[in-house]
């Protein structure tokens, strides 16, 4: 799923809307509400827990319960191994750019409302949280 979302440019100009110091940075609600709506219910099955754990730098799909992952992901800031048995299976790791993770703006924390982001997109975020950090572009590299 992540590969395909990156391939189609889904994460381009998408905000880190949930930032919890020492825990994680979450992204994945598209800035265009029409695009976001198409992916919100496109759920995929949980992956079995593999050899990796939710350690710093590992990337994991967010979930609202069993088998309901779609497009939101988070990057672990801390050792979040307590998530391992809850359906949060890491699928990737940040290997280059970890200093950027440490520079992400944490000032808004969990204040942005996910429902408002879904319905109003970037208009809501830029008006109410002007200093959020965004992924400018996400591309596949050989």
Strand ranges across the sheet with 14-20 = 90-93, 58-61, 73-76, 24-27, 14-20, 134-135
User: Residue 58: how many CB atoms within 10 A of its CB?
Assistant: 22
Phi, psi of 31 (to 5 degrees): -70, -15
Q: pLDDT in tens for each of the 142 residues of the chain?
A: 999 999 999 999 999 999 999 999 999 999 999 999 998 888 888 888 878 999 999 999 998 888 888 899 999 999 999 999 888 999 999 988 778 888 999 999 999 999 999 999 999 999 999 999 999 999 998 8
Judge whether 91 and 61 are in contact, CB under 8 Å: yes
Residue with tokens 């939710």: 54
Q: What is the pTM of this model?
A: 0.92
Using only C-alpha atoms, what is the Rg of the chain? Answer: 14
């Amino acid at each position: 799923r992540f590969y395909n979302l990156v391939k189609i440019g889904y994460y381009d100009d998408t905000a880190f809307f949930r930032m919890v110091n020492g825990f994680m940075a979450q992204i994945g609600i598209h800035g265009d509400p029409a695009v976001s709506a198409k992916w919100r219910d496109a759920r995929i099955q949980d992956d079995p827990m593999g050899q990796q754990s939710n350690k710093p730098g590992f990337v994991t799909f967010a979930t609202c319960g069993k088998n309901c992952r779609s497009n939101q992901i988070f990057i672990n800031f801390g050792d979040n191994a307590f998530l391992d048995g809850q359906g949060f299976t890491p699928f990737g790791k940040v290997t280059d750019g970890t200093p950027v993770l440490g520079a992400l703006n944490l000032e808004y924390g969990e204040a942005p409302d996910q429902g408002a982001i879904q319905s109003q997109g970037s208009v809501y975020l830029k008006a109410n949280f002007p200093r959020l950090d965004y992924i400018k572009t996400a591309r596949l590299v050989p």
